[in-house]
Structure 1
Amino acid sequence: MSRVADRNDILDIAREQVLTDGVGLDRAQVRSALDVPDERLEELLALAHEVRMAWCGPEIEVEGIVSLQTGGCPEDCHFCSQSGLFESPVRAVRLDIPSLVEAAKQTAKSGATEFCIVAAVRAPDDRLLDRVAAGIEAIRNEVEIDIACSLGMLDQAQVDRLVGMGVHRYNHNLETARSFFPQVVTTHTWEERRDTLAMVRDAGMEVCCGGILGMGESLDQRAEFATDLAEVQPHEVPLNFLNPRPGTPFGDLDVLPASEALRAVAAFRLALPRTILRFAGGRELTLGDLGARQGMLGGINAVIVGNYLTTLGRPAEADLDLLDSLRMPIKALNSTI
């Protein structure tokens, strides 16, 4: 006997509103989804997977990232060991162009179609943009792969220059809810980040914007963050889970419980039914192998393979084997979801 739909049940609401109509949950509805009890978590994840299949399709986008300039950042993002303001083990390092090209080659060999060049800076100067331009040209001479960048806050001239280089996607995370942001970063504002995203979108680049869960935000703020992102309308949302780094202000925070992280994955999918939702940093520590599998069947449709900027990830082969076991096809280069 089928269960009668309950107009007050958030999963029944989501089935009609999100799965059938493609309209994401609003803030109050996301908050309700984050409150789904453990005994209904599998039902929530299954619904999020249905939404992903209905509005994004079965393909998984695979991406690799590399840091062109690591450490020494002047900003005080409390989660980040690359800040020059904290006593962390990370030291300032610059990657040369041949190493960048080799990283792109290895990324392409893993099956990834996206290669993101990252630099730990407040904003790029002309010298850094020159290095990025040289790196992109060298990569294109050796390997066919889509290139994204994450270089901090931009002005219009810098946005235009990146467009001219052929950068198709720009990552700039809002990191957390607007109301919680001052507890995470004090050296720049949430609005400054949003302004960069607006310029990127208006210039025709795809917007990649996500953040980190488990930094001490409340469930209300987690719901706020999901709908903040929905308002930005990003092409892609990378979901990170805090991996507390020694020497940072958040270094002593507890790791987010796996069930809480999975509820968030599903809730963000229900808020963003048409968006690429990418597993990013911290998933190995927070979810482990079983949780990663549950997340892939709970709304995720993209992964970063290999290592992250300052932390180790899973071997690329392990993620690719997982996708194969789940019969999830990898998105082909230049295809669309």
Structure 2
Amino acid sequence: MTSTTANTSILERARDRVLIKGEGLTYDEIVEVLRTPDEMLPDLLALAHEVRLEFNGEEVEVEGIVSLKTGGCPEDCHFCSQSGQFTSPVRSVWLNIPELVKAAQQTAATGATEFCIVAAVRGPDERLMSQMRDGVKAIKEAVDIQVAASLGMLTQEQVDQMVEMGVHRYNHNLEAARSFFPRVVTTHSYEERWDTCQMVKASGMELCCGGLVGMGETLEQRAELASQLAELEPHEVPLNFLNPRPGTPFGDLEPMDSKDALRTIAAFRLAMPRTILRYAGGRELTLGDLGTRDGLLGGINAVIVGNYLTTLGRNPKQDLELLDELQMPIKALNASL
């Protein structure tokens, strides 16, 4: 059997499992998808796009993010320039409430329906929780937009407080597959992240949980991450591609190959057909303009617009113009409720 015949078979089996049976791919099938040769990539992306349309429709959810507390994080996530343990140039900065409100208003002006407040911390202390209460209240009074948060690991009490504040969605990424996680972070465990995710799901908040690829993991570990996310069943999966940051342990790694990135997008979509799959950090470096278009036609159905936490993104106007060109309507706010 030739490699092309073998990989045609995995696409046929993926079509049957996902589109006909409505199930996500198994780990072994995800590995096969990630091994799809370049000549089969257009067919793979077309299948992933068909799955996206079947289970999620044509609308694209747009989100903006802002860092409430930047830098000085005690954790040692090897990809992140916000860690206080590395020599990267990010230093601790706090935003005030008027700045948060202004950022939310600017995000809403792009057509975004989600505004995520992020803090570089292991988990929130009382000062941060207090600022979140005031910030969420002020944003809701000033602008019509859903408020999400990403503040690290939570206790059950803090989860309950987030619900009381009216936080719509909580982001806490697994970051990497369980088997690769100790190579990425040593100051906390994979299980600690998993536990926070489970508490968030049980609370009724939507769970946003994704990961980062291109950190030196094997293809099998990439498939493992997709399988573990599928087991967790988050409402949304942000897919990040490593943008090597100077001064971090991963600062000298080469950016991920663009075709591997597109295969990863398709594999994650086929593993989680009903999940919001969001373009997140690193896509500009890894995929460029053409690859960004290919990903939107290969399984992606949500984007972060503007800048990320420590890296620059595309001009929001470029993303919005691309969505218009592809005739992909932006999801309305009332559709997110």
The alignment's TM-score, normalised by the length of structure 2, stands at 0.97
Pairwise CA distance, 1:334 = 2.8
Identity among equivalent pairs (%): 68
Give the equivalent residue in structure 1 for 2:38.
38
Q: Partner of 1:107 in structure 2?
A: 107
Q: Which runs of 5+ in 1 are unaligned?
A: none
Asked whether the 8 Å contact 2:7–2:40 carries over to 1, the reply is no
In 2, Cα distance between equivalents of 1:335 and 1:6: 41
SS of the aligned residue for 2:131 comes to helix
**DSSP-derived class of the 1:334 partner:** helix
Partner of 2:93: 93
Which structure features the higher share of helix residues? 2
Give the TM-score normalised by the residue count of structure 1. 0.97
- Matched with 1:275 is 275
Residue 151 of structure 1 corresponds to 151
Q: Deviations over 1:210-262 (max 9, x none)?
A: 01100000000000000000000000000000000000000000100000000
Letter in 2 for 1:200: V
Residue number in structure 1 paired with 2:265: 265
The answer to whether the 8 Å contact 2:113/2:336 transfers is: no
Q: Is the 8 A contact 1:305 1:314 kept in 2?
A: yes
Q: 1:168 Cα shift?
A: 1.1
1:69-218 map, 5 Å: 69-218=69-218
RMSD: 1.2
Q: Any gaps of 5 or more consecutive residues in structure 2?
A: none
Q: Does 1:228 align with 2:196?
A: no
Whole-angstrom distance in 2 between the partners of 1:199 and 1:207: 10
The size of the alignment, in residue pairs, is 333
Cα distance in 2 for partners of 1:46, 1:117 equals 34
Q: Which runs of 4+ in 1 moved over 4 A?
A: 5-8
For residue 240 of structure 1, give the secondary structure of its aligned residue in structure 2.
Answer: strand
Are the equivalent residues in 2 in contact too, given 1:236–1:278 (CA < 8 A)?
A: yes
**Counterpart-to-counterpart distance in 2, 1:88 and 1:47:** 41
Task: State the AA in 1 paired with 2:137.
Answer: E
- How many angstroms does 1:9 deviate by? 1.1
The answer to whether the 8 Å contact 1:146/1:334 transfers is: no
Letter in 2 for 1:208: C
Contact 2:7–2:32 (8 Å) recurs in 1: no
Matches of 2:93 and 2:6 in 1, distance apart?
A: 56
